[in-house]
Amino acid sequence: MSSVIPTGLYVHVPFCIRKCLYCNFYVIPLGEGPLPRRLRDFRSLKHQGYLRALEQELQDLPQDFRPETVYIGGGTPTELPLEDLSRLFTMIRDHVDLSRLTELSCEANPGTLDQEMADMMVENGVTRMSLGVQSFHDGTLELLGRIHNAQEAWNAFTLLRKAGVQNLSLDLLFGLPTLCETVSCNLEAIDTLRPDHVSWYSLEYEEGTAFTDLRNRGDLVDPPEETTEREYAEIRRGLHHLGFHQYELFSFTQPGHECLHNLNYWKGGEYHACGPSAHRHVNGTRSANPSDLQAYLRDSAQQGNIEHLDPEQKARERLLTQLRVTQGVHIETFLQDTGYSIHTLLGEAYATWKRVGWMEERGGYVRLLPDAYLISDAIFRELI
């Protein structure tokens, strides 16, 4: 078993046309007035200050840094005007040694994507696109506060294929406060479109989001737990039928199209990150840029929330993230890399989780079992 830990680079683009009602990421809604006006005007907005600060931060990366993966996320990278997004790719090429690069991913919103932008991204070396669809049901999209409709999602997928994107992922949500039959609707769309990868997450009510405020006021009602469990089972069963392999708790892939950047996160790898609110993990230390664009513009080298992990903390965190991968954690490799035994870190909980059918040990690996996937957050809290 190889214990080589790869490296990645994450670049955060903090701009959006409008912030979705469930979103808790650091994003800056742009434009004013109704949505049609924002969509008409958004590409006239310039981001020169952000790009200058980002370029300085890219220049300040270690000279020997050679990432295997680059991921451009947000926010909405495709909110940037064409020339600004093109400049972002140029800055990465100019200031980062990409000689080891195996994957260049970029997120896209169907409401801010056209053929010219799709072609430009492929010409700039993008090998993988993550399309933030969330649902192919118009009523659900309206509930979520998305700026696109189902037809625009179909159109965006088609134009990315036309541009030559060979690794195309869809982001979707389930467990929504709605009676819409979104799971079956989305599975039908996947069957027709044939993406290479699907990330299908359970909706989380995060502190400070509009959705959480609406729920707390009683204007939104969580679906019953058994409904969410039934949806998740339908998702897993439906995607398996369509030839997808589940390789992470909420990620499904056709053979050879796993997200290498995310696998690096989940397997305890290291990564640098640039942009406001971007988080990095280097040499056992976690740090983050300020979640404040103006502070970032004043000093892109400023870092906050610095956390130095001691060896046991680092081992526990690595165990937690690796258990997200359905393959599980290789027992001997984990011991060699961290100096800690999985069984020691799990303690008495290990026997309990095995007995109730949440965990197993097989073929030299410890892994979660499907009955534990949806309750994994509660399990992981016991490891921290």
- Residue 219 is predicted with a pLDDT of 83
pLDDT attached to residue 222: 83
Give pLDDT < 50 ranges for the chain: 1-4
The CATH H-level superfamily of 7-264 is Aldolase class I (3.20.20.70)
- List residues bridging with 272 in a β-sheet: 9
pLDDT tens by residue, 189-226: 999 999 999 999 998 888 878 888 888 888 888 888 89
pLDDT at 3 (0 to 100): 44
pTM, rounded to two decimals: 0.92
**pLDDT for residue 17:** 81
Secondary element (H or E) of residue 50: helix 48-59
- Percentage of the chain surpassing pLDDT 90? 66
Q: What are all long-range contacts of 334-343, with beta carbons under 8 Å and residues at least 24 apart?
A: 336/3, 337/3, 337/5, 337/268, 338/311, 338/314, 339/311, 339/315, 340/311, 340/312, 340/315, 342/366
Interval 124-156: pLDDT, tens: 999 999 999 999 999 999 888 888 999 999 999
**How much is the pLDDT for 2?**
43
DSSP of 160-198: HHHHT-SEEEEEEEES-SS-S-HHHHHHHHHHHH--SEE
Token pair for 148: 């696109």
Look at residue 4 in the predicted model and tell me its pLDDT.
Answer: 47
Question: Dihedrals φ, ψ of 11, to 5°?
Answer: -120, 120
For the chain, the structural domain boundaries read 7-264, 328-384
Q: Which of 48, 197, 203 is nearest to 128 (CA)?
A: 197
Instruction: Give 250's DSSP letter.
Output: T
CA angle 98, 104, 106 (to 5 degrees): 140
